[in-house]
Structure 1
Amino acid sequence: AQQRCEGCDNLFGEYYCGVCHLFDRDKKQYHCAECGICRIGPKEDFFHCSKCNLCLNLSLQGKHTCIENVSRQDCPICLEDIHTSRVGAHVLPCGHLLHRTCYEDLLKEGYRCPLCMHSALDMTRYWHQLDDEVAQTPMPTEYQNMRVE
């Protein structure tokens, strides 16, 4: 397999990987030797975390929770492979991975990681809002100065 036909010089794909034998339109793909597959890039925007065994966006470098070989697990929502999926993965604050589409569906029903039950969102602002509402709600008269023995 190669990018061009030897006979007519026809181009089979703007992108060609000689390792994966992948032909595609140019989506700024790159082959990650550590992952063993081609990824949609650009490569400059990603780094490979050797503990997670996954290419992650540079914005997560030093800021994500590592889980060993997390990408080699199936998505806990749809039970399909995450590592070779063409659907992008979403890294939860706890370090677990979900397909991006599964993450969006999860948020319609709740906000917890289906594996460890930690919050899939930063709830700090919401907790402050609840604290403010409680602080602004007056205590009913019959419960003021009440003591429990």
Structure 2
Amino acid sequence: MAVQQYCINCGVCMGKYFCNKCKFYDDDDISKNQYHCDACGICRSGGKDNFFHCSTCGCCYSIQMKDAHCCVERAMHRNCPICFEFLFDTAKDMTVLPCGHTIHLDCLKEMEQHFRFSCPVCSKSVCDLSNL
């Protein structure tokens, strides 16, 4: 018997969002605009029209970064350099630094609170410091 969104016996919806490829159900909030990325092989949130998949980086990024992001091979397939959680499948928001390295947004904010303004991987500046 195939896994599906609705029970074939009683018709109960098992999840407002259902991905037949991942066998993933989400009943929390469909306003997250979940979608399945075939290239990533997982479901993501935020709306398919708002993201693009970079095959070099191996991950989906905001469409706003499409022409400006710096590619780092398999950038998301590593641990956050601050908290060491695996970035690819974490639920936390992440950001891409100007050098192309990725980090959790909360970790970047924590760095800034401690006056750390360089990438923890390559030491390049993460912001424009010319006005200081």
Judge same fold: TM > 0.5, yes or no.
yes
Aligned length: 126
Shift of 1:22: 1.1
Residue number in structure 2 paired with 1:20: 22
Residue number in structure 1 paired with 2:105: 100
Q: Does 1:116 pair with 2:122?
A: yes
- Over the residues paired in the alignment, what is the CA RMSD in angstroms? 1.1
Residue type of the partner of 1:54? C
Residue type of the partner of 2:118? R
Q: Secondary structure at the match of 1:105?
A: helix
Q: Does 1:32 pair with 2:37?
A: yes
Q: Secondary structure at the match of 2:53?
A: strand
For structure 2, the 5+ residue unaligned runs are: none
Equivalent residues in 2 for 1:67-146, closer than 5 Å: 67-109=72-114, 110-124=116-130, 126-127=131-132
1:41 to 46, 49, 60: 46
Residue number in structure 2 paired with 1:139: none
Shift of 1:122: 2.4
CA distance in 2, matches of 1:8, 1:80: 40
Normalised to the residue count of structure 2, the TM-score between the two structures is: 0.90
Shift of 1:30: 0.6
2:12 to 5, 10, 13: 10
Residue number in structure 2 paired with 1:58: 63
Residue type of the partner of 2:46? G
Shift of 1:120: 1.2
Q: Secondary structure at the match of 2:49?
A: helix
Shift of 1:123: 2.4
Normalised to the residue count of structure 1, the TM-score between the two structures is: 0.80
Shift of 1:99: 1.1
Higher Cα radius of gyration: 1
Identity %: 39
Q: Select the structure that is richer in helix.
A: 1
